[in-house]
Amino acid sequence: MFPRTLVGGVSLPRMLIGTNWFLGFSHTSLAKDRFIREFQTRERIADTLEVFLKAGIDAVMGMPTPLLREAADDANSAPAASCCPSSPRSSTSVPAERRTRNRRRCSTFVANTARFFACRTKP
């Protein structure tokens, strides 16, 4: 599990998932921004988020765009992410301890993402 810390009473990993290269903010040029937006699909973003989830990094810092929300939903429900109770890995063939841990990871990912989305949308 990736090291964690408390911020405002919320347990967060010490590394956050940034979104510049998901949403097209290269800080380089309009052409690079456009390239990123054209390249990054919901599926590619979800695949990247799954890698972070596997490493225990379950908090996103970024704007709550529909694309990012949908990709986060996809990553959260993917069997490879091993965090969603409804995934095939949560079947009765998986030990109860692992199913419980996966449910906690799923809840943490959703809660942390929602908290960061909420922080970013406050005036």
**Residue 4 pairs with which residues in a beta bridge?**
13
Question: Strand ranges (DSSP E) for the chain?
Answer: 4-7, 10-13, 17-18, 60-61
Evaluate whether 5 touches 12 at the Cβ level (below 8 Å): yes
Which position has the token pair 């943490």?
108
0.85 surpassed by pTM: no
- For the stretch 35-81, pLDDT in tens is 999 999 999 999 999 999 888 888 888 888 899 989 988 888 765 44
Residue 22 and residue 43 in contact, taking contact as beta carbons nearer than 8 Å: no
Contact status, residue 71 vs residue 22, Cβ threshold 8 Å: yes
Nearest residue to 72 via CA among 96, 48, 92 = 48
